[in-house]
Amino acid sequence: MINWQQFGLRSNPYDTLPLIEGGELPIHKAFVGRTVELQSLKDIFLSDSRACLTILGNVGVGKTSLANFHKFLFKYEEKKKPLFSFRREIEASKNLLNKKSFLTEVIGSTLREIRLLDPDLIKKEELLQKLEKLVDITQSLDISAGISIAGFGGEFGKTGTTEYPPSISNTMLENYFSNLVEFIKTHEIAGKKFGGLIVHINNFDIVLSDSKEKKGVIGFFQEIRDILQTRDVYYLFLGPKHFFRDIISVEKRLKSVFHLSPLVVNPLSKLEIIKAFEERMELLKSPDVVKYIAPFSNEAIFSLYDLYEGDARSIMNGLKDILSQVPETVLEPLGVDEAMLLLGKERWEVIKKSELTKEQEELLIFLATSSNYVTQKDLAIQLKKAPSNISGYYFNPLRDAGVIEVKKQEGKLKYWGLTQDYLPIKFILKAKKTIQQKTKENMQQLSLFSKGVENR
């Protein structure tokens, strides 16, 4: 456990959860950067009567926080065309990929947000009462809460599968959805009128990590094509960089519904990362302290930025892992050497818990200290073993544990290296080698000194 109080902080500034409306960190204060991306989104939303847009980027780059902040701006600060939205994004999953599940989730999430902002409204309005008979949503903000179909003899989210009674047709759900959008446009919610609805779907990165799901995802978008053209509804679909190319562009009629240019989100700059951390620490500063203590020097954070190629989530996880080993007596920012050595030590301790054999540990050290990626033939020569014995005994256990992976392949020849999470063990092995070298040099100097004394 990390004692954040020793730094003058109430809680963890390196929490990897996305920024969200109503979270511990006020999103309008904690969000940093993305000026160009936010302007692009604003231009699209203000110029079109509906929109269907993909936001693409690597896992951990900040797609969800960007979408959440954009929703916040249009919900509370946009004057020309404010748009209603639910703060909790809908998570893409295999069970969601059909029209009934999708519409039920959207209606349920919208109702949940109306309840949060204006709890008496559902009691007053007949349409919302009818919707409540269809979708009984939990009062909890917990995103994992299920949604049950009330009054129709079925239940949503109970068993991991979705069952709908025959009486709930797609047409019925589509009509309810259209009526809900019209209600949002014609009624005040918490004293404010809105011009439409933003629907935010997350995590197609996870769904598409299984190549078998690609066909199902394409079929899902074809099925909901008519829903995506609903006037005054603005859809944001978040996924990997290849999402638009592999899913949306494959069918002309589907592609025509979407905005032609996906919004690609790249990593924040080094200075933006520093600013984001500073904003978080200022917001989380304990009320009884004048100034917080930054746990890391900027140079240490820059080093992690380079290591993880700007992946903010990996950077924050790395910072937390380092601090988990820092004693409470340390009350000054950690420098580059200290931070990277501690991270390497933490990763090595994790590996040791898997009880590697001596030979597997030798393989790992060889990989970590090699300046190039390693083939099975390279290792066979290093360990003086038959190449046929290398894969199953040496490579597979480390691959299955997420320690090594294939970095490139030329024909049938595979080149192996450490995964990004375990690259830091290079630092501890390098430090160990440096210490051994210095010890050897000191012993040699001592030997020469002793001989000089003897000669006298």
pTM of the prediction? Answer: 0.80
Residue 292: closest CA among 3, 6, 30: 6
Domain boundary at 284, 315, 349, which? 349
Please state, in angstroms and rounded to a whole number, the distance separating the CA atoms of residues 355 and 357. 7
Q: Amino acid identity, residue 291?
A: K
Structural domains counted in the chain: 3
One domain, residues 344 and 360: no
β-pairing verdict for 147-148 and 51-56: unpaired
Query: What is the model's pLDDT at position 281?
Result: 95
In angstroms, the CA 111 to CA 227 distance is: 18
Looking at residue 417, which CATH number applies to its domain? Answer: 1.10.10.10
- Residue 339, domain member (yes or no): yes
In 3D, which of 52, 93, 58 has the Cα closest to residue 216?
93
The residue from 247, 264, 281 where one domain ends is 264
Last residue of a domain, one of 349, 378, 410: 349
Considering the domain architecture, whether residues 324 and 449 belong to the same structural domain is answered as: no
Residue 18, in any domain of the structure: no
How high is the pLDDT of residue 104? 87
pLDDT in tens, the chain (456 residues): 788 888 889 999 999 999 999 989 999 999 999 999 999 999 999 998 999 999 999 888 899 999 999 999 999 999 999 999 999 889 998 888 888 889 989 998 999 899 999 999 988 888 888 887 777 633 222 333 344 333 333 444 444 444 444 457 788 889 889 999 999 999 999 999 999 999 999 989 888 888 788 888 999 999 999 999 999 999 999 999 999 998 998 888 899 999 988 999 999 999 999 999 999 999 999 998 888 989 999 999 999 999 888 999 999 999 998 888 877 666 788 888 888 888 888 888 887 777 777 777 777 787 777 878 878 787 777 777 776 666 666 777 778 878 888 888 888 888 888 888 888 887 776 655 554 454 444 444 445 434 444 454
Confirm whether 416 is domain-assigned: yes
My answer on whether 171 and 283 are in the same domain is no
**Residue 135 CB: number of other CB atoms within 10 A?**
25
CB 238 within 8 A of CB 204: yes
In a domain, 17, yes or no: no
27 belongs to a structural domain: no
CA distance between the termini of the chain: 59
Residue of 428, 274, 441, 291 whose CA lies nearest to 364: 428
* 203-204-206 Cα angle (round to 5): 70
User: What is the span of the domain harbouring residue 298?
Assistant: 4-12+268-349
90 shares its domain with 190: yes
| 206 and 233 in a common domain | yes
